[in-house]
């Protein structure tokens, strides 16, 4: 039988709603550890168990760890980008105030909390905000990556940056993930999901 995994959060944080979800086919309740504090997750785990008893049906608890995710750096405001526009991604160590010295004068610059330049090639795809924004790498220089927008949108601070089919040298588990996993085990979850695993060693 195929499981239906549903992410639980504030919108369904009551026993009756969760029981209805279980009756409708939810067999795994996913707790997203990218959001919420431990008190919230403990409360949701308790509510799911109460709802399962109310519905008279079993449901598993899955703790989904945040993982080591590359993210957009701090932006004072969201930056709208349009299809065909040039965007330059720079590592946080690049002083964008010196953009003219870097040949970036007039460019739309987006800071990223990891230096992607040494690890990318021309033609690579970069996805931002869970794929809502897509960029194509055109050229690479020290500390910055010149891209063309394929699918536009608004780039906001701390949104995830993903490079499909490219293994970046970042750890699969952060200190936060380790603490979250230990907490989840204490809650008695049925499974733990590891994000962005790149090899058996990561597991």
Contact between 190 and 61 (Cβ < 8 Å):
yes
Q: Are 9 and 84 within one domain?
A: no
44: domain CATH number?
Answer: 3.20.20
CA gyration radius for the chain?
20
Q: What is the CATH number of the domain that holds 123?
A: 2.40.33.10
Question: DSSP string spanning 67-101?
Answer: -S-EEB---SS-EEE-TT-EEEEEETTS-GGGTTT
DSSP SS3 for 137: strand
Domain identity same for 27 and 76: no
Strands 86-91 and 108-112: parallel
Query: Over pLDDT 90: what percentage of the chain?
Result: 68
- For the chain, the domain total comes to 2
pLDDT digits (tens, 9 = 90+) for 35-91: 899 999 999 999 999 999 999 999 999 999 988 789 998 888 899 999 999 999 998
* Domain coverage including residue 25: 5-67+171-193
Q: What is the mean pLDDT of residues 139-145?
A: 88
- pLDDT above 70 covers a percentage of the chain that reads 93
Residue 98 lies inside a defined structural domain of this protein: yes
Q: Is 199 inside a domain boundary?
A: no
- Contact predicate 180/64, CB 8 Å: no
Q: CA-CA distance, 19 to 28, in Å (whole number)?
A: 12
- 10 burial type by CB count under 10 A (0-12 exposed, 13-18 middle, 19+ buried): exposed
In a domain, 55, yes or no: yes
Rounded alpha-carbon distances, angstroms, from residue 55 to 7, 29, 140, 169, 175: 18, 14, 56, 45, 37
Q: Which are the contacts of 190, defined by CB distance < 8 A and separation ≥ 6?
A: 28, 60, 61, 62
Chain mean pLDDT for the chain = 90
What confidence tens digit (pLDDT) does each residue in 112-133 have? 989 999 999 999 999 999 999 9
Backbone φ, ψ for residue 20 (5° rounding): -65, -40
């Amino acid at each position: 039988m195929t499981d239906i995994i549903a992410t639980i959060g504030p919108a369904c944080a009551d026993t009756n709603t969760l029981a209805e979800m279980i009756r409708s086919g939810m067999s795994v309740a996913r707790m997203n550890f990218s959001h919420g504090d431990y008190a919230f997750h403990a409360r949701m785990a308790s509510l799911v168990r109460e709802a399962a008893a109310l519905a008279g049906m079993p449901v598993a608890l899955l703790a989904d760890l945040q993982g080591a995710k590359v993210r957009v750096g701090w932006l004072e405001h969201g930056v709208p980008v349009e299809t065909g526009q040039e965007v330059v991604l720079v590592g946080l160590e690049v002083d964008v105030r010196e953009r003219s010295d870097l040949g970036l004068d007039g460019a739309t610059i987006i800071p990223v909390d990891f230096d992607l330049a040494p690890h990318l090639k021309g033609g690579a795809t970069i996805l931002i905000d869970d794929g809502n924004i897509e960029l194509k790498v055109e050229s690479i220089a020290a500390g910055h990556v010149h891209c063309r927008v394929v699918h536009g949108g608004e780039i906001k601070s701390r949104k995830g940056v993903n490079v499909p089919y490219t293994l970046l040298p970042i750890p699969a588990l952060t200190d936060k993930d380790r603490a979250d996993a230990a907490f989840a085990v204490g809650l008695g979850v049925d499974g733990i999901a590891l994000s962005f695993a790149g090899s058996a060693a990561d597991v």
